[in-house]
Amino acid sequence: MKTIDAASVAAALPMNTAIRALQQALRDGLDPEADPPRGVVPVDHGQLLLMPAEGRTARGSAYAGVKIATVAPDNPARGLPRIQGRYLLLDAETLTPLALLDGVALTNLRTAAMSAAAADLLAPPDASRLVLFGGGPQAHSHLAALCAIRPITQVTVVGRTPERARQLVDGFPETAGVSLLAGTPDAVADADLIACCTTARTPLFDGTLLPPHATVMAVGSHEPGAREVDDHTVRHATVVVESRAAATREAGDLIQVIDRGLLDPAQLLPLADLVRHRPGGPAVDGGRPRLFKSVGMAWEDLVLAGTVHEAIESGRADQSAL
């Protein structure tokens, strides 16, 4: 069994490839509704998360796998990562371990790639203005992912305070053709894309400011008690989810609106239906904002872990042929 570190994950799986791999998995018939629920075990200083799955990559190879991750809210104050973990990839037929991957690198990649896979179907082709809430690993990954699918030229970074926003801007690497500036939440009024990549428990911006063409991606939480977007955004947007079951179980942004009778779960559009363009299936209303609420699912980790494994094995085969 090989060990694949964070650098190797990034080298083996460019963002564009990750985005297409997720879209292709859905196009080939993978059913997110069949994904096992995430196991969440509270412990004294955070949570243990267990995410098992089985499925196929774009090449058709079958795998099983499981991610174990930890969430320790106090770790950043200690200079340690808030989220840590590993991914164990298995052969689907024999359940033989094939690889142990860096779980954080895989999570950062798959979350942003999933957002971009959705935004690629929801956002106007000329979307160029991005508002980015947050400045951590997910914010950095989302910038790379969204630049891979749209001609981003302006990024407004929003932090908890104007001072914090300026600090966050300084932490982003220079990207060719992209202007980064610090801003405030009302910047969403001029945005084409909004990425919410925070640990916020309450809404980040006023949804009445959203232009009709805007696409919002909210990825910061998989907890029923946390949210990044407000009622107005949820009620007045076309809401797209990875799976209705996962969303109504874990997406606080939606659950809190559903529980008050302000949103019918049947209105949630599964991303798989949009990817497959089913005749008579759901359509996206271009006259209202789009909201993609992601909670992160085990099938996404599995598809990308398998794709990383295949890329590395293919590279080894190429080398051995020289």
- Look at residue 293 and tell me whether its pLDDT is greater than 70: yes
Mean pLDDT of the chain: 93
Contact 183, 157 (CB under 8 A): yes
H/E run at residue 138? helix 137-149
Residues 154-179 have a mean pLDDT of 89
The alpha carbons of the chain give a radius of gyration, in whole angstroms, of 19
Residues 12-20 have a mean pLDDT of 96
Q: What is the DSSP letter of 95?
A: -
Token pair in block for residue 68: 């174990």
pTM: 0.93
Tell me the pLDDT tens digit for each residue of 226-271. Answer: 999 999 999 999 999 999 999 999 999 999 999 999 999 999 999 9
**Largest CA-CA distance found in the chain, in angstroms, rounded:** 64
CA distance 217 to 240: 10
Q: Beta strands 238-241 and 179-183: pairing type?
A: unpaired
Sheet holding 2-4, edge to edge: 2-4, 97-102, 83-91, 62-71, 46-56, 39-43
| Strand intervals (E) in the chain | 2-4, 39-43, 46-56, 62-71, 83-91, 97-102, 129-133, 154-158, 179-183, 193-196, 215-218, 238-241, 269-270, 290-293
Domain ranges of the chain: 2-107+300-320, 111-298
Contact 58, 42 (CB under 8 A): no
> Domain 2-107+300-320 in CATH: superfamily?
ornithine cyclodeaminase, domain 1 (3.30.1780.10)
Question: What pLDDT shows up at residue 321?
Answer: 47
Contact 119, 193 (CB under 8 A): yes
Q: What is the CATH architecture of 111-298?
A: 3-Layer(aba) Sandwich (3.40)
- Look at residue 279 and tell me whether its pLDDT is greater than 80: no
Cβ burial, residue 265 (10 Å; 0-12/13-18/19+):
middle
- Look at residue 322 and tell me whether its pLDDT is greater than 50: no
Query: In 3-state terms, what secondary structure has residue 116?
Result: helix
Q: Concatenated DSSP letters for 48-65? A: EEEEEEEEE-TT--EEEE
